[in-house]
Structure 1
Amino acid sequence: MKSNKIKFITKFSLYLIFIILALGIVFVLALENFLYTSLKNLGIEELISQKIVRDFNFLSLGFIFFTIFFCVVASFLFFRPLENSFKEIQEFIKKIVSGDFKERLKIKSGDEIEKLAEGLNFLINNLESCNYRLKEKTKELERIREEEVILRIRERARREEVEKRLEDLEKSRIALMNILEDVEEERKRVEEEKNKTLTIVENFVDGLLIFDRDKKLILINPQAEIFLQAEKREIIGKSIKDLEKIPGFKKIFEIIGPEIQPCFRETIQMEENLILELTSLPIVSEKEKIGNLIILHDITREKYLDQLKTEFVSLVAHQLRTPLSGIKWSLKMMLDGDLGPLLQEQKDFLKKAWTANERLIRLVNDLLDVTKIEEGRFLYKLEEKDIIKIIEDVFNSYLDTAKEKKITFELEKLKDNFPPLKVDEEKIKVAIQNLIENALIYTLPEGRVTVTTDLQNGNFFFKVKDTGIGIPKKVQDRIFTKFFRASNATKIDTEGSGLGLFITKNIIEAHGGKIWFESEEGKGTTFYFTLPLSK
């Protein structure tokens, strides 16, 4: 600002000096010429005239320079207030341009500048009013525009939403049509499957009964109607408790009870010529029980054939027992020298014959035991006996065998006093012999067999543990069946019958006990059984 001010004053002063100087020079030259002419006309000497003219020129130039100085000072003093006023007006205009209409000019110079300031103030008042109205209009226009934009957006969104809903509805319609088609196809397929299932059920050789979750009969096939001598239309929809009153259901109800308990292959003698095998299973869907299935399998023919087989085995065994006994005592007499002295070779040959005959006799006895088991007449003499003495007798009878095979053979009694047990001594001795003999046969030399007795949970506890060949896992569920022998066992003992464990299991269970085992192939087997104490 100072720079602009100096420039303005400088320019103005230079212009003024130039004008005064020009006018002064013209005036002095004119006056000098006039004075010189006048003096010359008056007859004054030229030297005097020149001196007078020089003095005049000197005075004229002094006057000119004084005038110039005075003008410069006067211009500076005159233009300074104007400069301040113009500066204030300039700042005021800048604020107005920037949008600030609150300021007003306060120039009190009493001249045209003050009037100019008043005019500007009036103009700014009007301009501020117009600006305020313009802003209001602008705001209103913006609001209207925003509302229009919002309306357009809403309209567009509504239109898009409607279009999307229409599209979704169309897709839903197509999907629904597809679902309906799939449902119809599935319904037909289910209907076909249902018809197939019903056809299978209707023609199934076993009797089938299905109960719902409320224990009400909802399906029975013709074969079950024949077995139970009942008509479908009379029993469908009845509960298991109502069915108990029907003669054909009484024996079934005795096994499954009112809650339809699960069971597997329970034998029922329905009539003299009808034996059924009953299996009851829960029907489960997604881990929830929704009903029960009862299967009735006719085993009359199988039981008849088993009976014939048992009778035949019993007959053959009894017929073989007498001649085998005769052979046994004949061989005994010859080995004892009752018929004269024998050579060593002859004795060895007779001993082999004696061993083979003993094996045959034992096989016959096992077959007779099996027939007695199947006929349900296995135990004869149930008496209170000292079970520890029975076990010790059997254990001692195998000491020589264990010694010959170099097997560590031990008996552990974890209790000192055992109460007497009500057992068939002959049969329980057979069971213990079978378990100990198997352990010794299938344990290799340098192995160990340990017999342990104890009392556990109110029962007599017996255990035989060996370090033998073990039982393969895949055949362990067949170990107590008739005539079964594991493949690794036949490689060690080729002469076993596969009846020992079957007989042992039936002996233990006939005494009200329980038998089980643990085994790992190549590491050994442990057999356990428990017997209830006498009451």
Structure 2
Amino acid sequence: MIVYFVFLVLFCLIFAAAAVTGLLWVGFAAALPALGVFWLGGKAAAEQLSAVSECSLLRSEFGTLAQNISDGVVVYSHQFKILYVNRVTEQIFNIKATECVGQKISPQKTSGSGITALTRVIFPLLADSVTQISESGEWPQIADISTNEPKLNLRVTLDKITDGGSPAVFIKTIHDNTREGAVFEEKTEFINTAAHQLRTPLTVINWALENIKNITSGKLPEAERAADDAMIISARALKITNDLLDAAKIEEGRFGYKFSDLDLVQLVQDAVEQIYATAKQKDITIYFEHAGLESLPASMDGERIGLAISNVLDNAIKYNNPNGMVKISLGSDGENAIINVVDSGNGIPAEELKNLFKKFFRGTNAEQLEPNGSGLGLFITKNIIDRHGGKIYAESQQGRGTMFKLLIPLKRANIGAENKREE
């Protein structure tokens, strides 16, 4: 819509220039009535004046529209001359339109912090941080741009109007995420602090309960059972705490990876053994099939992949039926490890499958069966699989259970520079 109106405004400007010629024709026609051209010249002038009037109206409508939207709007020529900025742009950069409209912006334009920040939006490579959202060569171009002085976090969309195949005018719309970013940082910091403060005492409680269980084993059956129940609750609270910390690290880019050579058969076997006690409590049987594979060499982050597998197994047990079944199978197509986890639970509604891997999402059935879940396990799992260059899928039928399929490259994926893990 904005692009359309800008095009009309530019057209009006051209027509306005032509209107001068039309007015000359009026005078000329008035001076030469004897030549019989008065009517012809007057009609042409009237038509042009009418068109100018319509264009002025359209220009006014564009101005009204641009001044009343919630995003900033900047229009500039292919020579980087600023043609228009709206009120929101003035507010974002703390500048006045009179300071920049009609001015040619260059990378050296540093007459004020607001103008400097605007220059960095016009020339994104000058910004302190740029994240390209759209594909290269794709229009409109979308990028997240951050500046430190002043502190701004912006989502910038660039589009163009061409003239004969060459760009004539560029339009940038600017959405200010600065406040949302500050709120998000505060929330993340609070979660980090709270989770760190909870993790240590929960670990100590778990250790104390395990000692109580060992002391009472075979001597005080009731105390032993009470310790078992308390350990399960404590372990659940500790897992939620760790999930919160991991999710925060993922969003901050601090969830690093350490790749090493390992045996995937042994890794899956370890994950099954760790969750065996939880399955036994719900009378759920776990089957592990590995198609006759004695071992499956792979280059992965064993701790992260182990966490991903454990999260999927945990869901398969947690949302299963009593006396149910979980089957995990491991195979390979030569390039990828293929891990399938099938359960005999109630299944997931089809309309909820697309949201399974979103942060904090919990399905309707999940909330009924397990009210205390965090909704973070599958979000973390997908991130781990994605960072290994793999894929994870879910298939489900209500009343018949769910299958998760993990495809993970056996050779180390290219994960870029983010390779440092923070504990």
* Contact 1:407-1:445 at 8 Å conserved across structures: yes
TM-score (norm 2): 0.63
After TM superposition, give the deviation of residue 435 of structure 1 in Å. Answer: 0.8
Name the SS of the counterpart of 1:381 in structure 2.
Answer: coil
Alignment deviations for residues 284-330 of structure 1 (CA, whole Å, 9 cap, x no partner) = xxxxxxx9986532222222222222222111222222222222222
In structure 2, the partner of 1:202 is 67
Name the SS of the counterpart of 1:512 in structure 2.
Answer: coil
User: Which amino acid in the other structure matches residue 64 of structure 2?
Assistant: T
Report which stretch shifted further, 457-466 or 399-408. 399-408
Report the Cα distance in structure 2 between the residues aligned to 1:412 and 1:464, rounded to whole angstroms. Answer: 10
In structure 1, the partner of 2:202 is 324
**CA distance 1:349–1:436, change in 2 (3 Å):** closer
In structure 1, the partner of 2:45 is none
* Contact 1:201-1:208 at 8 Å conserved across structures: yes
After TM superposition, give the deviation of residue 433 of structure 1 in Å. Answer: 0.6
Report the Cα distance in structure 2 between the residues aligned to 1:263 and 1:466, rounded to whole angstroms. Answer: 44
Name the SS of the counterpart of 2:371 in structure 1.
Answer: coil
Report the Cα distance in structure 1 between the residues aligned to 2:241 and 2:212, rounded to whole angstroms. Answer: 23
* Contact 2:131-2:144 at 8 Å conserved across structures: no
After TM superposition, give the deviation of residue 500 of structure 1 in Å. Answer: 0.8
After TM superposition, give the deviation of residue 455 of structure 1 in Å. Answer: 3.8
After TM superposition, give the deviation of residue 378 of structure 1 in Å. Answer: 1.0
Name the SS of the counterpart of 2:215 in structure 1.
Answer: coil
* Contact 2:271-2:309 at 8 Å conserved across structures: yes
Report the Cα distance in structure 2 between the residues aligned to 1:380 and 1:534, rounded to whole angstroms. Answer: 14
In structure 1, the partner of 2:153 is 275
In structure 2, the partner of 1:247 is 123
**CA distance 1:200–1:436, change in 2 (3 Å):** same
After TM superposition, give the deviation of residue 432 of structure 1 in Å. Answer: 0.6
**Sequence identity percentage:** 36
RMSD: 4.4
Correspondence list, 1:164-243, <5 A: 195-196=60-61, 198-208=63-73, 221-222=85-86, 223=88, 231=100, 233=102
Correspondence list, 1:48-197, <5 A: 195-196=60-61
In structure 2, the partner of 1:498 is 375
Report the Cα distance in structure 1 between the residues aligned to 2:325 and 2:204, rounded to whole angstroms. Answer: 38
* Contact 1:209-1:217 at 8 Å conserved across structures: no
User: Which amino acid in the other structure matches residue 203 of structure 1?
Assistant: N
**CA distance 1:202–1:217, change in 2 (3 Å):** farther
Report the Cα distance in structure 2 between the residues aligned to 1:281 and 1:453, rounded to whole angstroms. Answer: 48
Mark the structure with the bigger radius of gyration.
1
In structure 2, the partner of 1:530 is 407
Correspondence list, 1:287-436, <5 A: 295-337=173-215, 343-399=220-276, 402=279, 405=282, 409-413=286-290, 416=293, 420-436=297-313
* Contact 2:81-2:102 at 8 Å conserved across structures: no
1:489 is matched with which residue: 366, 372, 375? 366
After TM superposition, give the deviation of residue 224 of structure 1 in Å. Answer: 5.4
* Contact 1:207-1:297 at 8 Å conserved across structures: yes
**CA distance 1:474–1:270, change in 2 (3 Å):** farther
Report the Cα distance in structure 1 between the residues aligned to 2:251 and 2:197, rounded to whole angstroms. Answer: 19
User: Which amino acid in the other structure matches residue 360 of structure 2?
Assistant: F
Alignment deviations for residues 357-398 of structure 1 (CA, whole Å, 9 cap, x no partner) = 222222221122122212211124222222232122213444
User: Which amino acid in the other structure matches residue 430 of structure 1?
Assistant: L
User: Which amino acid in the other structure matches residue 395 of structure 1?
Assistant: V
In structure 2, the partner of 1:512 is 389
* Contact 1:267-1:278 at 8 Å conserved across structures: yes
Report the Cα distance in structure 1 between the residues aligned to 2:330 and 2:76, rounded to whole angstroms. Answer: 48
User: Which amino acid in the other structure matches residue 383 of structure 2?
Assistant: N
After TM superposition, give the deviation of residue 246 of structure 1 in Å. Answer: 5.1
After TM superposition, give the deviation of residue 437 of structure 1 in Å. Answer: 1.7
Report the Cα distance in structure 2 between the residues aligned to 1:210 and 1:522, rounded to whole angstroms. Answer: 57
Report the Cα distance in structure 2 between the residues aligned to 1:467 and 1:408, rounded to whole angstroms. Answer: 10
Point out where structure 1 has 5 or more consecutive residues left out of the alignment.
Answer: 1-183, 237-242, 284-290
Report the Cα distance in structure 2 between the residues aligned to 1:281 and 1:518, rounded to whole angstroms. Answer: 40
* Contact 1:282-1:293 at 8 Å conserved across structures: yes
After TM superposition, give the deviation of residue 282 of structure 1 in Å. Answer: 11
In structure 2, the partner of 1:478 is 355
* Contact 1:415-1:454 at 8 Å conserved across structures: no
In structure 2, the partner of 1:438 is 315
Alignment deviations for residues 387-411 of structure 1 (CA, whole Å, 9 cap, x no partner) = 2321222134445655665656444
* Contact 2:132-2:144 at 8 Å conserved across structures: no
1:468 counterpart = 2:316: no
Report which stretch shifted further, 496-505 or 273-282. 273-282
After TM superposition, give the deviation of residue 434 of structure 1 in Å. Answer: 0.7
Report the Cα distance in structure 2 between the residues aligned to 1:445 and 1:261, rounded to whole angstroms. Answer: 54
Report which stretch shifted further, 342-351 or 321-330. 342-351
TM-score (norm 1): 0.51
Name the SS of the counterpart of 1:352 in structure 2.
Answer: helix
In structure 1, the partner of 2:326 is 449
Report the Cα distance in structure 1 between the residues aligned to 2:406 and 2:170, rounded to whole angstroms. Answer: 34
Report the Cα distance in structure 2 between the residues aligned to 1:525 and 1:244, rounded to whole angstroms. Answer: 49
Q: Which has the higher strand share?
A: 2
User: Which amino acid in the other structure matches residue 386 of structure 1?
Assistant: D
After TM superposition, give the deviation of residue 255 of structure 1 in Å. Answer: 5.1
Report the Cα distance in structure 2 between the residues aligned to 1:457 and 1:207, rounded to whole angstroms. Answer: 52
